[in-house]
A and B are shown apart, each in its own frame.
Chain A
Amino acid sequence: MGERDEEDRPFETTQGRDGGAGGGALTDLTRLHVHEMARLLRTGEVSSRALAEAHLAAAGRQNHALNAWLVIDRKSALAQADAADRRLAESRRPGGSGVAALHPLCGVPVGLKDLVSVKGGQATAGSKILKGYVAPFDSTVTARLRQAGAVILGKTNMDEFAMGSSTEHSAYGPTANPWDLTRVPGGSSGGSAAAVAAFHVPVSIGTDTGGSIRQPASLCGIVGLKPTYGRVSRYGIVAFASSLDQIGPLARDARDAAILLHAVSGRDDRDATSAPVPVPDELLDLPASDDEAASYLKGRRLALPREYFVDGMEPGVAARVREAVAAMEAAGAIIEEVSLPHTDYGLATYYIIAPAEASSNLARYDGVVYGFADRSSGDYIADYLCTRGTGFGPEVKRRIMLGTYALSAGYYDAYYLKAQKVRTLIKADFDAVWAAGFDAICAPTSPTVAFPMGARVEDPVAMYLSDACTLPVNMAGLPGISIPAGLSDGLPVGLQLVGAPWRELGMLRLARAYEAITARATWRDLEPAELHLTDDPTTPSPLERQARRTQGAPATGSGDQP
């Protein structure tokens, strides 16, 4: 969205097609960025309640066609907004703490992926096995957002247990991509990505085990950051693969992603894998001026890994990424080709390690202390089989099977131990790049733009390839960010920047610099091409589209109910 003299004319932001959300003349609050909202909230020009109302209205009106949200909690959101308004008023009062003491998220609407625990609310993780489960405590991320004063609007759709790259593996129906409602938004944080792209919230929380923040951000044309493993506490987040999972922000620009990252990061006694690494306050001060932001590129050494530009990549994706790299070079960055020689082994390695960890983590869903339980048989083994066989969807069962096999007697060395050794080699590839003095690696986020719903859901290996460019980053535990880099055939392409451990601030400054040097690009002004269709109540829901598509098609097995 670039620089638009925002400091002087805050309300003159881009309007949606056909009048945009709510037909709101010059004051469409849903188009504001977090950094704009923060300023207006502090001066009192806009209230948190007004922001919440505007975003709730957009989400409520358009969710039928998008299915980005599993829950929109209007009552709770308005109560949180009123509380934020009181905090803001209190801080403005003479003798008050002063607005500068408030976090910029105070009063700002956010969405949470539905595997984040919010006390008293659902956390389905997109699964039937957690239907009806009520979280008895707040996750640390939730607690930190509350502390900052953020306003949680609801919970977003996702692939079941975060296993998937399209959000089609949700037990609650797929999510549509606002750029083309017949296509997937990516996954597994597809609901969080679609909600941000559709202006239902300026920022949302996702999780990324093999690309689940970056890939949907790429496919929806927004920013998505996977922090360094250990940067954000995972306490209260439904676990998938514990050595890979990391929580992070989705946003419409780098500054907003940085603000949300700042709010949720840092050591937490309740998660022993959260690292005691300081969280830089500079995350709140990414440059507003394009000139200042762009100057960060001068002399930066950026690595272009040749293994990421090979077969299977759409020419349009490769072209946008190369153009983005060329633009950064023109702005003063130094580009050098490098090799990450074990890239080709990433997919196999990941699809042993992640399912192995998942099969162990998901053993807890046994119908004994919480979640769906089938106790009809009277025999405890049979009860487990029924509970888990009925409660889990097909992709989750597939991964539990893979992981159980890879860990089983006689196969552990050949699969799991082997994969852990290859993981060492993959990490060493990245370490060599940092040792050579590079500031970042530039690569595509996804080999393709958003693909049609149904295109990969029956072919697990094709689906898994969606994350070929992102999952090595998880195995090395590194921070990675996907930022919009233009369109191919009218659909968004993401540029991925990967950094050394704990260098999120540097990645975000690079991302902000890229935004600055492309601020005048025509594609920056475009809103998702089919967003206007979601205002029409006759537009079919993603579930209706799915049903129409599979009508007459042969049954795909007893486990495939959506």
Chain B
Amino acid sequence: MANLSRADVEHVAHLARLGLGEAELARLEGQLNHILDQYTILTTLDTEHIPPTAQTIALANILRDDVVQPSLAVDDALANAPERSGDHFVVPAILGGDGGA
């Protein structure tokens, strides 16, 4: 199948939002390629007309009435927040500081 280059590993790490050091990247390059080698066995199977399975029990569209039910209190929901302001989570700014964007 595929062979992951060092650049590929860095790209995937960025997609996954994992900050990895040099040693980790080097180790992962070898380990991931070794694991991907194990996947090649799947290419020997013809699955063109086989439907995919996402889950195994015959349940679909489990719905409930649209009514308010007891839920977490605000203080309980915020209790683990790294940063809190009043009844809100303080989140990192994702837009430019100049108010533009």
User: Of all chain B residues, which has the CB nearest A476?
Assistant: B56
Q: Which residues of chain B are within 8 angstroms of A557 by Cβ–Cβ distance?
A: 21, 23-24, 27
A477 touches B42 (CB 8 A): no
Contact of A388 among B12, B17, B52, B92 (CB under 8 A): B17
A423 touches B80 (CB 8 A): no
Give the interface SS of chain A, mostly helix, strand, loop or mixed: helix
Q: Which residues of chain B are within 8 angstroms of A460 by Cβ–Cβ distance?
A: 31, 34-35
A352 within 8 Å of B (CB atoms): yes
B12 touches A401 (CB 8 A): yes
Q: Mark B26-52, 1 if CB is under 8 A from A, else 0.
A: 011001101100110110010100111
B18 within 8 Å of A (CB atoms): yes
User: Of all chain B residues, which has the CB nearest A392?
Assistant: B18
Q: Interface segment, A12-20, A306-314, A408-416?
A: A408-416
Contact of A134 among B38, B57, B80 (CB under 8 A): B80
B15 within 8 Å of A (CB atoms): yes
Q: Which residues of chain A are within 8 angstroms of B99 by Cβ–Cβ distance?
A: none
Interface of B with A (CB < 8 Å)?
1-2, 4, 8-9, 12-21, 23-24, 27-28, 31-32, 34-35, 38-39, 41-42, 45, 47, 50-57, 59, 62, 64, 72, 76-77, 79-83, 89, 91-94
Q: Which residues of chain B are within 8 angstroms of A421 by Cβ–Cβ distance?
A: 47, 50-53
B24 touches A559 (CB 8 A): yes
Q: Interface segment, A29-37, A42-50, A363-371?
A: A363-371
Interface of A with B (CB < 8 Å)?
133-134, 136-137, 228-230, 243, 269, 272-273, 275, 342, 344-345, 347-349, 351-352, 359, 363, 366-371, 373, 375, 380-386, 388-390, 392, 394, 397-398, 400-402, 404-405, 408, 411, 414-415, 417-425, 427, 460-461, 464, 475-477, 501, 555-559
Closest 5 CB pairs of A and B: A477-B56, A389-B19, A385-B19, A420-B52, A370-B80
Contact of B41 among A345, A394, A397 (CB under 8 A): A345
Q: Which residues of chain A are within 8 angstroms of B19 by Cβ–Cβ distance?
A: 382, 384-386, 388-390
Q: B23, B53, B79: which has the most chain A beta carbons within 10 Å?
A: B53
User: Of all chain B residues, which has the CB nearest A460?
Assistant: B31
A456 nearest CB across to chain B (Å)? 13
A401 touches B89 (CB 8 A): no
Q: Which residues of chain A are within 8 angstroms of B89 by Cβ–Cβ distance?
A: 368-369
A559 touches B20 (CB 8 A): yes
Contact of A136 among B35, B77, B92 (CB under 8 A): B77
Q: With A and B bound together, what is the CA distance between A400 and B20 in angstroms?
A: 12
Q: Which residues of chain A are within 8 angstroms of B62 by Cβ–Cβ distance?
A: 272-273
Q: With A and B bound together, what is the CA distance between A485 and B7 in angstroms?
A: 49
Q: With A and B bound together, what is the CA distance between A477 and B59 in angstroms?
A: 13
Could you pull out 8 A-B pairs where Cβ atoms are within 8 angstroms? A136-B77, A229-B56, A369-B82, A371-B82, A373-B82, A397-B20, A424-B50, A557-B24
